[in-house]
Amino acid sequence: MTVIELLLAISLLAVVVGTLAALAQAVQTARQYSQCNGGAVEEARMVLARITRTAQGAHANPRFPGFLVVTEQMGPWRFPDTLVVWRPLDEAADPAGLPRFDELVVYCPDPEGPERLIELTVPKDHRVVPPPEDLAAWRSAVRAMQRAAKSQRVELTRLVHTAVVAGSANSSRRAAVRFERRLRPSDEEWAEYQAGSRGWEDLSWAQSIYGPQTGLSQVWLRMEMQLVPRDTTGALRRPIPFFGSAALYYLVQR
């Protein structure tokens, strides 16, 4: 081989080795990315499935339609990050009235660490809950449940994305968790019907199913949360949004 041929062979070999090294690095990066995101995806799937299963098994009536979203207001910002579900273990103590505290399952960020989403229950608390329209009483009740020594907590995930609330005095962090509830017929429609300004047939019944004495109501839940994957070194990556929904149907008597 001549010197020129040898140099060409070495150059080609260097190009091949460099290409293979870059390809191996890309494969390793993709593998780490998949493992990192895959863990967050599996965790989000488990959390959403658990909340969905609880919501779909809730008890509902016109006074308390299955579940309730409790919001917090901080300045101009509104945070609907707490979900209360009426899920008695057996028969409800008052099926036509309001639930008891020990019949509730609460999903909310942990006040001691908002990156943790917890499931909260309070066994053997037989007090009647406030009416769903009294959100101030519900905020106090949820805070009391979070502080109660007899409360039982289940940590669902500790990967929730958090952010500092703009303009907050103590730079408090809030979890990127959102719940939304919609009713058919809506609270406004039902109030108009009870006031006599809307007819029974004019209510927006679920699937337009109603009769002379009963109608089919629907309560719909939308869930959104952002989880932050961690790579093999424990470093945080960009948050990933996840979404879920659940629906509950029940009959309303005229």
Instruction: Tell me the whole-structure pTM to 2 decimals.
Output: 0.83
Dist. CA 105–CA 178, nearest whole Å = 17
Q: Do you know the residue count of the chain?
A: 254
Q: What is the pLDDT of residue 36?
A: 62
Residues 6+ apart with CB under 8 A from 233: none
Dist. CA 58–CA 199, nearest whole Å = 28
Q: Could you report the per-residue pLDDT of 24-50, keeping only the tens digit for each?
A: 666 555 555 555 667 788 889 999 999
Residue 193's pLDDT band (cuts 50, 70, 90): very high
Q: What is the pLDDT of residue 27?
A: 59
Q: Edge-to-edge strands of the sheet including 67-74? A: 67-74, 77-86, 104-110, 113-121, 152-157
Q: Could you report the per-residue pLDDT of 97-150, keeping only the tens digit for each?
A: 999 999 999 999 999 899 999 999 999 899 999 999 999 999 999 999 999 888
Phi then psi for 166, rounded to 5 degrees?
Answer: -65, 130
Given a cut of 90, whether residue 90 has pLDDT beyond it is: no
Residues 6+ apart with CB under 8 A from 72: 78, 79, 81, 82, 139
Q: What is the pLDDT of residue 172?
A: 79
